Amino acid sequence: MSNINEDTVARIARLARLKLEPEQLAPMATELTSILDWVEQLGEVDTDGIEPMASPVDAKLVWRDDAVSDGNIQDKVLKNAPRREYGFFAVPKVIE
């Protein structure tokens, strides 16, 4: 049995940079615990020597020429920015 308590939810929410209100922690802990209990059944399956499958296709990445094929689209890149300054994305102050 897995047991995700409120502290664990708060910890993973922090890792995921996801703000949860204090009253959201308990219901989320209950839901995640029930989902984890349900997935525990995978423990029944013998997977010794089985290669993990990351993708349904053989991921052979294709080489391309090392040449500039894009660029000079600053306006397009910044078009949807919530805040931009001097041609950059602007964010709240990081360094005091």
List residues binding another protein (CB under 8 A): 4, 8-9, 12-13, 15-21, 28, 31-32, 34-36, 38-39, 41-45, 47, 50-57, 59, 61-62, 64, 73, 76-77, 79-83, 89, 91-94
* Opening angle at CA 73, ends 85 and 60, nearest 5: 120
Q: Distance of alpha carbon 76 from its chain centroid, rounded?
A: 25
The distance of closest approach from Cβ of residue 74 to another protein in the complex, given in angstroms and rounded to an integer, is 11
**In one letter, which amino acid is 44?**
E
Q: Which is nearer to another protein, 26 or 89 (CB)?
A: 89
User: Which residues, in sequence order, are CB contacts of 8 under 8 Å at separation 6+?
Assistant: 29
Q: Which residues contact 19 (CB under 8 A, 6 or more apart)?
A: 13
Nearest approach in angstroms of CB 20 to another protein is 6
64/66 with CB nearer another protein: 64
